[in-house]
Amino acid sequence: MESPKVGDDAPDLGTVKSEVEGVSEMIITDMKHKNIGRGGTYIICYDGTIKLGSTDSQPIKATIFAFQCDADEMSAMHKKWSSFDHPSVMKSLGCSWGSRHHSKYGFVAFPMFHLTFSDLIAKGSRAVEMGRFTEVFTEAVSQIVKGLQALHDNGFFCPNLKGADIAIKMNNNSIDAKIWNFTVCTSDVKKNMDWKRLGDMLRVVAERNFANSSDSLEIHYVCYQISKGQIRGLDILQQSAFLSVREKFEKVLFLWTHVSIHCKPKQIHPLDESKSAYTLTEFLDANSIESTRPLWIGNKRIKSAPKTLRNLLDELRDIIEHEVEYIPSDVIAKLGHKEIELGKTKSDLEHYIRQILGIRVSYYSVMGFQSDIRIGI
Structural domains of the chain sorted by starting position, each given as residue range(s) with its CATH number in brackets = 16-112 (3.30.200.20), 116-242 (1.10.510.10), 245-376 (no CATH)
pLDDT score for 97? 77
pLDDT by residue (tens digit) across 38-79? 655 677 888 998 887 666 678 889 998 888 887 788 888 888
The confidence band for 113, taking pLDDT boundaries of 50, 70 and 90, is: very high
- 3-state DSSP call for residue 168? strand
The residue that leads in pLDDT, 19 or 233, is: 233
Highest mean pLDDT among 24-28, 37-41, 79-83, 275-279: 79-83
Q: Averaging pLDDT over each range in 141-150, 170-179, 318-327, which range is the top one? A: 141-150
The amino acid that residue 101 corresponds to is: H
Q: Which amino acid is at 4?
A: P
Cα(377)–Cα(375) distance, rounded to whole angstroms? Answer: 6
- Beta-strand pair 278-279/375-376: parallel
Residue 233 CB-density burial (10 A; 0-12 exposed, 13-18 middle, 19+ buried) = middle
Least confidently predicted of 11-15, 23-27, 121-125, 347-351: 11-15
> Residues 284-317: pLDDT tens digits?
888 766 666 667 777 777 777 788 888 888 888 9
Task: Give the separation between CA 161 and CA 165, rounded to whole angstroms.
Answer: 7
For the segment 11-34, the average pLDDT, to the nearest whole number, is 64
Which spans in 20-70 are helix H?
Answer: none
- The enclosing H or E element of 167 equals strand 166-171
Confidence of residue 2 (pLDDT cuts 50, 70, 90): very low
User: pLDDT value at position 15?
Assistant: 46
Of all helices (H) and strands (E), which one includes residue 317? helix 309-321
Burial annotation 2-25 (CB, 10 A radius, 16+ → b, else e): ebbeeeeebbebeebebebeebbb
pTM exceeds 0.75: yes
pLDDT band at residue 212 using 50, 70 and 90 as cut-offs: low
